[in-house]
Amino acid sequence: MNKVILMGRLTKDPEVKYTQQNIAVARYTLAVARRFKHQQQDVDFINCIAFGKAAEFAEKYLNQGKQIVIVGRIQVRSWEDKNNQKQWSTEVIVEEHYFTGSKTKEENDEDLPF
């Protein structure tokens, strides 16, 4: 089973592009805190990709600093660069987004899809 659930904050606004078939593809990085025994914290920066409706949701409702929970799966890709060196990338393919944390003054309930 390949299932991932992460909570973190967006490091910047999602970058959204559309394929030739007009399918939205959103890319963003989620900063996820790691906790240790002595309350020491470290942060992992997780690359995330959403497709279709999930990407359109990200484009419309997500922005830098927003705390969210994502559900998805891990995907590992490999390719050869221009110097014929093998490169690897690990990403989370996002299937669902959830808001978490408190609302800011700028957020208006009428803008949200629920």
Tens digit of each residue's pLDDT (9 = 90 or more) over 93-108 = 999 999 987 655 455 5
What does pTM read for this prediction? 0.80
> What pLDDT is attached to residue 73?
97
User: Does the pLDDT at position 11 exceed 70?
Assistant: yes
pLDDT bin (cut points 50, 70, 90) of residue 114 is very low
- Rg for the chain, CA atoms, rounded: 16
SS3 97: strand
- Single-letter amino acid, residue 76: V
State the average pLDDT over residues 65-94: 94
In the block, tokens 């089973």 appear at: 1
